[in-house]
Structure 1
């Protein structure tokens, strides 16, 4: 089973939202949606969507939003 680890750092305490999107911009799954302290974190994604189904290999994007910042990064999921 494919597993990828997403590492991120937040500069200030606050709400963090990390969402995976497919190449069409459709939400695949929300991995993080809660308050976190400032610091470095990692979260694992096993290629399962919000409905419990394995997604296809391909390009995905993860969107990280905090109180003061947001960023988007691209990743490749291979089976």
Structure 2
């Protein structure tokens, strides 16, 4: 991505959701969501313009689900 990307997900029911972005060393670089959300479709923008090129990971966690995906920032 360069320098922004969208992170999309859906919730089948109301749940507490955490969506965070980490660098390669596991340091948190952004906290996009940390709240209870209603069921539905969601899209969050991640702006990496203040970061150097490299590999980042986003972790989406809810009460019943956890997933981590890789993103590559190219400037």
Output the TM-score relative to the length of structure 2: 0.89
- Structure 2: state its 5+ residue gaps: none
Which stretches of structure 1, 4 residues or more, deviate above 3 A after TM superposition?
none
Q: Greater share of strand residues, 1 or 2?
A: 2
Mapping for residues 1-79 of structure 1, pairs under 5 Å? 2-47=3-48, 54-79=50-75
Residue-by-residue CA offset, 1:25-66 (whole Å, 9 max, x unaligned): 111110011111112111001116xxxxx1111110000011
Aligned-residue offset at 1:11: 2.1
Could you say what the CA RMSD is over the residues aligned between the two structures, in angstroms?
1.3
What are structure 1's unaligned runs of at least 5 residues?
A: 49-53
Q: TM-score, normalised by structure 1?
A: 0.85
